[in-house]
């Protein structure tokens, strides 16, 4: 047997051992989860519910007209691309923050 063949045989044996350890650890984790579900009266339906993260209100950063607006995030709208293609400075369309007193 060559050295490479021996190493590959060792790898195969170690992979089998790792798979067995993983399987046993997984069984333990499942048992732990089930015991906590019973302790806290958690149903599988509750586990499947996902709470949606609150979305922050998007602010308008650029405005060309009433309907041509962009928040500066995500894909650029057509009007922004057209402004850039013409070589105009997009900052001309930046919305000024209102100063409240």
| pTM for this prediction | 0.43
In this model, does residue 98 exceed pLDDT 70?
no
Homologous superfamily assigned to 53-101: Histone-like protein H-NS, C-terminal domain (4.10.430.10)
Position 89 confidence tier, pLDDT thresholds 50, 70, 90: very high
Listed in sequence order, the residues at least 6 apart from 36 whose beta carbon sits closer than 8 Å to its beta carbon are 42
Predicted confidence band at 1 (pLDDT cuts at 50, 70, 90)?
A: confident
**pLDDT band per the 50, 70, 90 thresholds, residue 101:** very low
At 42-78, the pLDDT tens digits run 998 888 887 776 766 678 899 988 889 998 888 999 9
Q: How far apart are CA 51 and CA 64, in angstroms?
A: 36
The answer to whether 61 touches 70, Cβ cutoff 8 Å, is yes
pLDDT band at 86 (very low <50, low <70, confident <90, very high): very high
Q: How is the chain split into domains, by residue range?
A: 3-48, 53-101
Alpha-carbon span 9 to 3, nearest angstrom: 10
Distance CA(89)–CA(73), nearest Å, equals 17
- Mean pLDDT, to the nearest integer, of 77-87? 93
């Amino acid at each position: 047997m060559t050295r490479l063949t021996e190493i590959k045989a060792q790898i195969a044996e170690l992979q089998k051992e790792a798979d067995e350890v993983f399987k046993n650890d997984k069984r333990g984790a499942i048992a732990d989860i089930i015991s906590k579900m019973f302790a806290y009266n958690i149903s599988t339906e509750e586990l499947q519910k996902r709470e949606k993260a609150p979305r922050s209100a998007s602010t308008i950063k650029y405005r060309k007209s009433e309907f041509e607006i962009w928040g500066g995030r995500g894909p650029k709208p057509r009007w922004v691309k057209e402004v850039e293609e013409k070589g105009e400075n997009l900052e001309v369309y930046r919305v000024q923050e209102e100063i409240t007193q």
